[in-house]
Amino acid sequence: MADTDDDYVYDEITGEWRPASEIAAAAEAQRVVVRDAAGNELADGDAVVLVKDLKVKGANQTLKQGTLIKTIRLTDNPEEIDCRHESIKGLVLRTEFVRKR
C-alpha cells in the first residue's frame, strides 16, 4: 500500500475502492464555473448588480439597472441564478444581466 493515511471511498460507478483525494480531484475537474456579464466567477452568497433594466414577468414590475441583489444561489444551469428581491420572491436571473459587486 502506497498511502496508508489516505481514506478510501467506494465508487459505485466503477465498483472499486478509490482514494478520497482522487475522488475529490475528479469532482473538482467536473465543477461548472458560473460567470457574470463581465467574466467574474460567481459563488453562492455573492451580491450582484443588474447591468440593464429587466421587466419581471408576472410581477408587472421593472428592476432598474444598478439594482443590488444580495445572497444569490447557483443553480444546475450555469446561465441562471436564484435570488430574492424585497418585492419579488423566487426570482431567477440570467447571468448575462448581472455583474458581481
Which DSSP string do the residues of 48-90 spell out, in sequence order? EEESS-EEETTTTEEEPTT-EE-S-EE-SSTTEEEEEETTEEE
- Give the pTM: 0.69
The partner residues of 55 in beta bridges, in order of sequence, read: 62
Q: To the nearest 10°, the Cα dihedral for 7, 8, 9, 15? A: 180
Residue 85: CATH number of its domain: 2.30.30.40
Is 38 among the domain residues?
no
Q: What is the pLDDT along the chain (101 residues), one digit of tens a residue?
A: 454 557 899 988 889 999 988 888 877 777 788 999 999 999 999 999 999 999 988 888 899 999 999 999 999 899 999 998 888 888 999 999 999 99
Kindly state whether residues 52 and 27 are assigned to the same domain. no
